[in-house]
Structure 1
Amino acid sequence: MRISTGQLYDRSIQSVLDNQGDLSDVQTQLASGKKLLRPSDDPVGAAQVIRLTEEVDLIAQYKKNSNILTNNMEQEETILSSITTAVNRARVLMVQAGNGIINTDDRKAISIEIEQIRDQVFDLMNTRNAAGEFIFAGTQSASPAFVLNQSAAGNKYSFQGDSGANMIQVSSTMKLQVNNSGKEVFEDVLARLKTNITGSVGLTDISVSIEQQGAFDQFHKANYSAVVPADNEYQVNIVAANQVEVRHVASGAVLETIDFASGVPFSFKGMRIDISGAPGDSVNFQLSPPQKQNIAETLNNFVLALNNGNISQTKYDEALKDALIGVDNSLTSIGNATSVIGGRLNVNQAILGANLDLEIANKSARASIEEVDYAEAVSELSRQEAALEAALATFARVTGTSLFDFIR
C-alpha cells in the first residue's frame, strides 16, 4: 500500500491538532473548574447537572419566600402586641370608669383617652407591609381593611376586606399563610351575649339582667338555636307564693324550680331575675342572637356612653359590661392569632432548615458530577503536553524524510 505525501502530511497534522484540542480541553477545565465543558463529554451527567441546578435555583427562591414570610409574620406579631398593649390600657380605664365615685368630668377625661386608644387601634388595624399592602385586608390587600363611616349615631368602624389569605410557597409541597385576615382576628369577635324580655302576664315589676356572665354564656351556647327561633324562648311562672318554675316554652319542659318571694331577686343560669307578682303571673324572656363586634367599634360605643350626659345608671352599667366583655373577647382573639403566628413561624423555620440541607446535598451532588478533580486534571495536562510534544517531533521526523535524505 502506498501512502502519498498528502496523506502523510494530513495524518501528521491531524494528530497534532487532536493533541492540541485535548490539551486545550484540560487547560479549560483547570481554568474554569468544570469537568463538563460540553454535553457530549457526559450526556447523562449533563442531564443530572441541569436537574440539580434547577433544584438549587428553586430552593434559593424558597429561601427568599421564607424570609418574606418571616418578615411579614414578625411585623404582624409586633402590630398585634401593640394593639394588645393599647387595649389593655383601655380595659384599665373601663374598670376605672365603673367606679361609683367618679363624676361627669371624670368620665369625660376617661373618654378622651379611650378615644385616642380607639384611633390608635384603628390605625394599627390598617397597617401596611413593606410592599404597601394592607396586612389585615385578606386578599383585598390593595384597600384598607377597616373603614370609618360617619353617621348621626356616631362613628362606625366596619371591615371591608375578606376572609381570604395570601399564601406563599416555601417548599415543593408546602404553602404557608402570609397574613391573618382582620375578619378572623378583629371582626368575628363575639360581643356580650344577652337576653331580652318578650312578654309578661300580671307582673307589676320585671327585671331580667345578667349577673354572672360566664354561667350565662355557658347556658346560651348550650341552648341557643340559630335555626329555630322559638327554641330560644323561656318562661318564668309563679306557681306558688314561694315558688317559681322556669320552663322551655317550645317543649314545655321544666328546667328548674326555685324558691321565690315577690320583689326579691333570684338567680337562674347566671341571670338575675327580679319580679313582683302572685301565683299565675309569668314573664317570658328570650336568648338574644350572638352579635359580633370589632374592637374599634367596642371602644367607640363606650366612648359614646361616657359622653352621654343623659344616660341612666342602668344603661351605663350595661354599656360598661358590654365594653369589658368585648375587650376581653378581643384580647382572646388577638392572643389566638399571635399563637397561630408563632406556630407558623416554627413551621417555616423547620422547612427553611430542611431546604438548606437539601441545598447542600444538591450542590454536593452537582459538584461531584461537573467539578474538576485538580490532581487528576494536572496529571492529564502533563500527559497531553507530552503527547503533543511527541506528535510534533514525529511530524518533524516523518515530513523530513525524502530520497535525498536516503542518498545522504
Structure 2
Amino acid sequence: MRISTVTMFDQSVSAMNRQQGDFMKVGQQIASGRRVVNPSDDPQAASRAVGVSQAKAVTEQYADARVSARNTLAQGESVLNSVSDAITSAKTLLVQAASDTLSDVDRQSVASELRGIYETMVGQANATDGNGRFLFGGYRDDSPPFARTTGEGVSGTQYIGDENTREQRIDSSRLMPVADNGMAIFKSVPSGAGYVARAEKESAGNVSIGTQPGYVRNEGSVAFTSGPNRVDPDNAHFGKPFELEFSTNVDGDPIFSVSAIEADGTRTPIITEAVYETGKSVSFGGISITLEGTPVDGDQLQLRPANHADANQDVFKTLKDAIDVLEMDQGGLAENRAHFRNTISSTMRELDNSLDNVLTVRASMGARLNELDVVDAVGDNRMMNYEQTLSDLVDLDYNEAIAEYSLRQVGLQAAQKAFVDVKGLSLFNFL
C-alpha cells in the first residue's frame, strides 16, 4: 500500500493535536479543581449536578428566611418580656393602692405611676422590628396597630390591625408564625382563665363610671372580698355568665337572686330570693364568692368567664379602669369605697389573666425559636449532604488527575518526536 508524504504529515499533526487537546483538558481540570469542566465531559453527572445545585440554592434561601424569622421572634419575645414586667409592676401598685391606710392623694400618686406603665405598654404594643414594620399588627404592619380613642363612653386604645398572624416559610414543609397579632396578645385571655366579677347595675342610659358603657356603679356598699372561685366544674351551669341582683323582702331584709345567662340571652333562675348575709360565701353554678357590705335595691353583680365575649379582655381597658378609680375622690362614702374595692379586685383578676396570656404567647415564641434551632441543624446536615453529592459528581481526584497529566505529557512528547522523525525522512539524504 502506497502512503503519500502528505498523508504522513496530516496524521502526525492530527496525533499531536489530539495529544495536546487531551493534555490541555487535564490541565484545565487541575486548574479548576473539577472533573466536569464542561457538560460534555460527563452529561449524566452534569445533569444531576444542576439538580443538586438548585436544591442547595433553595436550602440557602430557607436558611436566610430562618435568620429573618429568628430576628422577628427574638424582638417580639423581648417586647413581651417588657410587657410582662409592666403588668407585674401594675399589680404591685394595685396591691399597694388597695391598702386602707392610703389617702385619696396617695392613691392619685399611685395612679400617676400606673399611667406611666399604661403609656409604656401602649408604646411596646406599637413596637417595630427595626425595618419599619410593626410587630403586632398582623398583615397591617405599615401603621401602629393600637390607636388612642377619645369620646363619650370610649377611652383608652383601639386595635386597628388585623387578626391574622404573619407567617414565613422556614423550610419546604414548615410555614411558621413569626409575629402574633395584638388582638391575641393584649385583648385576649387563656382559654382556661376563671371567672371575673363586676359590681354594676344596668342603666337606662349610656352612662359609664369607670366601667363598661351602659352600666352605672352600684348605690350600695356591697363588695366581693373573695372569688369568684371554682368549686364544681361539673355543675350543669358552670361556664355560663351569672347575674346576681339584690332586693328586699317584705320585712325589709336584703335578699338576692342568681340567674344563669344562656347563649340566647335568656335567664335561668338558680337561686331565688335567698337571704343575704354579709361576709358569707355564696355558691352557685359551680363557683363561689364571698360578699360583704349593705346592698341597695337594684344593685347587681355580673360574673362572667374571663374568655366570654362580654367580659373585659383588654389589658389597656383594665389599666384605664384602675387609673380612673384611683383618681376618684371617695369622699368617705361607703358606696364609693365598695366601688373602689370591687374595681381593684376585678382589675387584679383581669391583670392576672392578661399576664397569663402574655406569658403563654411568649412561651410559644420561645418554642418557635427552639424549633428554628432544630430546623437549622437539619438544614446544615442537608447542605453537607448536597456538598458531598456535588463533590462526588463533579470534583476532581487530584491523584488520578496528576497521573493522567503526566501520561498525557509523555504522549504529547512522543507525538512531537514522531513528527520530527517523519519530517526528517527523505530519499535525497541517500543520493
TM norm. shorter chain > 0.5? yes
Deviations, residues 310-332 of structure 1 (Å, cap 9, x unaligned): 58112222221232122111100
Whole-Å separation in 2 of the counterparts to 1:197 and 1:148: 28
Q: Greater share of helix residues, 1 or 2?
A: 1
Q: Where do 1:196-215 residues align within 5 Å?
A: 210-215=224-229
The answer to whether the 8 A contact 1:246-1:257 is kept is yes
Name the counterpart of 1:306: 326
Cα pair 2:169 2:176 within 8 Å, conserved: yes
* Aligned partner of residue 213 in structure 1, secondary structure: strand
- 8 A contact 1:193–1:291 mirrored in 2: no
Superposed displacement of residue 82, structure 1 = 1.0
Alignment check: 8 A CA contact 1:139 1:162 kept: yes
User: How has the CA–CA distance of structure 1 residues 38 and 49 changed in structure 2, closer, same or farther, with 3 Å as cutoff?
Assistant: same
Match of 1:224 among 240, 248, 251: 240
* Structure-2 separation of matches of 1:33 and 1:88: 63
Aligned length: 393
Give the distance between the partners of 1:368 and 1:114, measured in 2 at CA.
66
1:353 aligns with 2:377: yes
Q: Which amino acid aligns with 1:307?
A: E
Aligned-partner residue type, residue 192 of structure 1: V
CA displacement 1:34-88 (0-9 Å, x = unmatched): 1101111111100111111112222222222222222221111111111111211
State the Cα distance separating 1:182 from its structure 2 match. 1.1
Normalised by the size of structure 2, how large is the TM-score? 0.79
Tell whether 2:22 aligns with 1:22. yes
Contact 2:45–2:393 (Cα < 8 Å) also in 1: yes
State the identity as a percent: 22
Alpha-carbon distance, 1:400 to partner: 2.3
- 2:425 equivalent among 380, 391, 401: 401
Residue pair 2:282, 2:290 contacting (<8 A) in 1 also: yes
Pairwise mapping of residues 72-87 of structure 1 onto structure 2 (< 5 A)?
Answer: 72-87=72-87
Indicate if the aligned counterparts of 2:280 and 2:292 stay in contact, CA closer than 8 A.
Answer: yes
User: Residue 223 of structure 1: CA displacement?
Assistant: 4.1
Q: CA RMSD in A?
A: 3.7
The aligned counterpart of 2:207 is none
Deviation of residue 282 (structure 1)? 11
* Structure 1 SS opposite 2:171: coil
**TM-score of the aligned structures, taking structure 1 as reference length:** 0.83
1:245 and 1:118 map into 2 onto residues whose CA distance is 37
SS in 2 for 1:215: strand
* Paired letter, 1:361: N
CA distance 1:282–1:162, shift in 2 (3 Å): closer
Matched, 1:390 2:394: no
Are 2:346 and 1:322 aligned? yes
Any unmatched runs of 5+ in structure 1? 200-204, 226-231
Task: Letter of the 2:7 partner, please give it.
Answer: Q
Report the equivalent of 1:377. 401
Correspondence for 1:228: none
Q: 1:334 and 1:238, CA in 2 relative to 1: closer, same or farther beyond 3 A?
A: same
Report if the CA contact (8 A) 2:137-2:161 is conserved.
yes
Give, in whole Å, the separation in 1 of the partners of 2:98 and 2:320.
17
List alignment gaps of at least 5 residues for structure 2: 204-218
Matched residue type, 2:382: L
Contact 2:199 2:342 (C-alpha < 8 Å) held by counterparts? no
Q: How does 1:163-242 map to 2 (within 5 A)?
A: 163-189=163-189, 192-194=196-198, 210-215=224-229, 222-224=238-240
State the alpha-carbon separation in 2 of the partners of residues 264 and 82 from structure 1: 39
The answer to whether the 8 Å contact 1:265/1:273 transfers is yes
Give the counterpart letter for 2:129 in structure 1.
N
Task: Report the AA paired with residue 146 of structure 1.
Answer: F
